[in-house]
Amino acid sequence: MISGIGLDITELDRIAELDNKSDKFRNRILTTEEQRYYENLSNHRRIEFLAGRFAAKEAFAKALGTGIGPTCSFLDIAILPDDKGAPILYFNGNLVDGFVSITHTKTVAAAQVILQKM
C-alpha cells in the first residue's frame, strides 16, 4: 500500500553555484558515505550527483509528509547505490520500504519517491 509520493526538481546551475562557493552546502546535504561517492566523480558528474541527492531527499521528505525540518533533516536521509548501482533509500540508518528514481538532463535533476506503509 502506498503511503506517500514525493517529487522534486532542481537546476544544476543553482547546485553548481552553491557547491563551487564552499563545501558548506554539500556537507549539509550529503552523508559521509554519500560524500565518499561524490569525491570519486568527475566535476560535472559531482554536480549531477549532488543535485540528484538534493532532489531525492526533498522528494522523500515530501512523501513522508514532514518536509525537511527537525524530524527529517538532509543528513537523516541516505541514498546509496545497490550492487547494480540503483539508488536505495535509508532513513535514520534504516532501509526504507519504498522506491526512489533520480534522473538528469543537461540543466536539471529530478527525483521521485514512492513510500510503502512505514
User: Can you give the residue ranges of every domain in the chain?
Assistant: 2-116
Q: What pLDDT does residue 62 have?
A: 97
Name the stretches of the chain with pLDDT < 50: none
- Each residue's pLDDT tens digit, 58-71: 999 999 999 999 99
CATH class of 2-116: alpha beta
44 is annotated as an active-site residue: no
- Dig out the grid coordinates for 109 from the structure: 535533476
pLDDT recorded at residue 117: 80
Per residue in 7-18, pLDDT tens?
A: 999 999 999 999
Catalytic residue among 44, 57, 62, 84: 62
Give the whole-angstrom CA distance, residue 18 versus residue 67. Answer: 21
CA distance 6 to 62: 5
Is residue 62 annotated as a catalytic residue, yes or no? yes
Q: What is the pTM of this model?
A: 0.94
Active-site entry in 21, 104, 106, 117: 104
The tally of CA atoms less than 13 A away on the side-chain side of residue 88 is 12
